[in-house]
Amino acid sequence: MKPKAIKILFVINPISGNHTINYKKEISAFFKSKDEAFELYELPKNCTIEVLKAAINKSKADRVVAVGGDGTLKLVAECLLHSKTPIGIIPAGSANGMAKELGIPLDLNEALALTINGQPKQIHAVAVNNELCIHLADIGFNAYLVKKFDELPERGMLTYAKAAWHAFWNHRKMPVEFKIGDKLIKQKAAMVAIANATQYGTGLKINPEGKLDDNLFEIIVVKDYAVMEIIKIWISKLLWDPKKIEYFQTTSLKITAKHKVHFQVDGEYLGKVNSIEAKLIPKAIHVIVP
């Protein structure tokens, strides 16, 4: 007996990426000769979780696919947290960090084929100041970089490089404090990352020991940086100098900063904060992987 064809809902972020691809047109053309049913939903401006969740429930789809960057994936994941409905990814953002983490093809047709043929994998996530984090959150240098990136009119890696250059020269180190077990950490840091994944979308591997399903997350304290060192790491994909970085593993923690610091989650800048509280969300979502 022929297996029942599945239905896939594609959640398209119209402002992701560089606008060179018409995703509605390309997805429709791909599925024209396929048995699978599909539905296209374009995110309205300032879409809320409640609005998207209602659209997902109405579609009764077997799989829901985020067409966008890490922010789009985060929004879909918030709607399907602790659900058995698998989430797929069509990389359509500027950096596509989580897609690269999971080995999702950057080629559109290959990524579309994976939404049908890929297998669901259950992964954990992290709640950071009550925000769902499925990729990376941080305070300090990178969060400031995200802020500058958002302020620039264009998208893409060239714009990211411009934002990075500005951040190199204008961000300063911050005094932070947190406890891991009985150990109190007091440090002046360029940035502190709360890492569910291993690397940023740029290819910079911030957390080489990270695993998406090991029921832990990592705290990475970058104590110092230099412009040429970070450029060298980005170009060659080398690791950070271990003398300038510290790793910790935990399931929960609170970080306090002496002054308000820049804060981002999954590529979304969320303003300045004095403290960060993070807690593991085990078995959070199912993602479609090769």
Domain of residue 191, CATH code = 2.60.200.40
What proportion of the chain, given as a percentage, has pLDDT over 70? Answer: 82
216 with 139, same domain: the answer is yes
Higher pLDDT pick, 95 / 121 = 121
92 with 145, same domain: the answer is no
What are the φ and ψ backbone dihedral angles of 12, each rounded to 5 degrees?
-100, 125
Model confidence at 2, in pLDDT bands (50, 70, 90)?
very low
- Is the torsion defined by CA of 16, 268, 262, 226 positive or negative? negative
pLDDT of 229 above 60:
no
Which of 68, 83, 117 is the endpoint of a domain?
A: 117
Q: Is residue 229 part of a domain?
A: yes
Q: Is residue 123 part of a domain?
A: no
175 with 110, same domain: the answer is no
Q: Is residue 61 part of a domain?
A: yes
61 with 135, same domain: the answer is no
108 with 185, same domain: the answer is no
Q: pLDDT (tens digit, 9 = 90+) per residue, 189-211?
A: 888 999 999 887 767 778 887 89
pLDDT of 115 above 90:
yes
Q: Is 230 helix (H, G, I), strand (E, B) or coil?
A: helix
| pTM of the predicted structure, to 2 decimals | 0.85
Q: Which pLDDT score is estimated for 1?
A: 42
Lowest mean pLDDT among 49-53, 61-65, 119-123, 144-148: 144-148
Model confidence at 5, in pLDDT bands (50, 70, 90)?
confident
194 with 222, same domain: the answer is yes
Q: Which of 96, 100, 75, 95 lies closest to 87, judged by CA? A: 75
137 with 170, same domain: the answer is yes
35 with 158, same domain: the answer is no
Q: Is the distance from CB of 42 to CB of 245 less than 8 angstroms?
A: no
State the CATH number of the domain containing residue 50: 3.40.50.10330
109 with 152, same domain: the answer is no
* Mean pLDDT across the chain: 85
The pairs formed by 150-158 with CB atoms below 8 angstroms and a separation of 24 or more are 150/269, 154/18, 155/16, 155/17, 155/18, 155/94, 156/17, 156/18, 156/94, 157/94, 157/95, 157/202
224 with 199, same domain: the answer is yes
Model confidence at 72, in pLDDT bands (50, 70, 90)?
very high
Q: What is the domain range of residue 242?
A: 131-281
